[in-house]
Amino acid sequence: MNVSDAIKGRKSVRAFLDKAVSRETVESVLDTARWSPSGVNTQPWKVFVLTGEKKDTLQQQILERFQSGVKGGMDYLYYPEQWAEPYSGRRKECGIALYGALDIQREDKQRRMDQWVANYRSFDAPVMLMFTIDAHLETGSYLDYGMFLQSVMLAAMDHDLTTCPQAALGEYPDLVREFLGLDNDQVIVCGMALGYEDVDAPVNNYRTVREDVAGFTTFLE
């Protein structure tokens, strides 16, 4: 698979096979991703790999916190507080595509909630990755981190693995920090589901629309 095919073929997978991923495979993915670029080679990423009992325990704690009615909040603002076009429209289209693939109607609040709660289980993937960054680092390091996350997702494809990056897993950062044994100097950036795709699951059989090059590019000649 060449780079262009990998970038175009990558998608967020929300249903996985009940098939374990070996530690050696995860290490190989991260061994590739570590070559991602970063300003002055700061390499701001820290990764926690959760499987088996550890993953089950953390996701159960997150689920219990959510179901208790405690509203989550990330360490930083991932989304804007006020949505405007074209972003609000794209956000809406993304939701319509997801729920449409699952045949979940707008008024079916229970099924919508069930699908959202699946976020906190990493969609039952065998591996949950959690990513942190030192709190004193600035915006540029978050740009670097985005490149690292993309590298993880693309490197996974070399092993026939699929992924779903998840901001939702960062919604209860204090809980995650305590579970991982971290101090407050670590920001929870996000999580990621990693595993083998269930290709028969309807939720995996749709793609979001992307803007044409002409829609976001200005050539000055």
Contacts of 206 by beta carbon, 8 Å cutoff, 6+ apart? 97, 98, 100, 101
Type of residue numbered 181? G
In a domain, 53, yes or no: yes
Residue 198 lies in a domain: yes
Percent of the chain with pLDDT over 90: 97
User: How many domains would you assign to the chain?
Assistant: 1
Determine the pLDDT at residue 131: 98
Nearest to 49 by CA among 156, 141, 146, 140: 156
Q: What pLDDT, on the 0 to 100 scale, is given for residue 98?
A: 92
* 131, part of any domain: yes
**pTM score, two decimals?**
0.96
Buried b (16+ CB within 10 A) or exposed e, 38-69: beeeebbbbbbbbbeeebeebbebbeebbeee
Question: Range of 138's domain?
Answer: 3-79+120-205
Residue 69 in tokens: 């009615």
Mean pLDDT of the chain: 96
pLDDT at 66: 95
Is pLDDT of 104 > 90? Answer: no
pLDDT tens profile 47-101: 999 999 999 999 999 999 999 999 999 999 999 999 999 999 999 999 999 999 9
**DSSP secondary structure letters along 173-189:** HHHHHHHHT--TTEEEE
| Strand, helix or coil for residue 134 | strand
pLDDT surpasses 90 at 43: yes
Domain-located, residue 60:
yes
Q: Is residue 106 scored above 90 in pLDDT?
A: no
Which CATH number belongs to the domain containing residue 150 in this structure? Answer: 3.40.109.10
Q: How far, in Å, CA of 127 to CA of 18, rounded?
A: 11
Q: Does residue 15 register a pLDDT over 90? A: yes
* Per-residue pLDDT tens digits for 151-205: 999 999 999 999 999 999 999 999 999 999 999 999 999 999 999 999 999 999 9
> What CA–CA distance (Å, rounded) separates 176 from 164?
19
The kind and range of the H/E element at 130 are strand 127-134
Q: Residue 109 falls within a domain, yes or no?
A: no
Residue 152 lies in a domain: yes
Cβ–Cβ < 8 Å for 127, 111? no
- Flag whether 21 is in a domain: yes
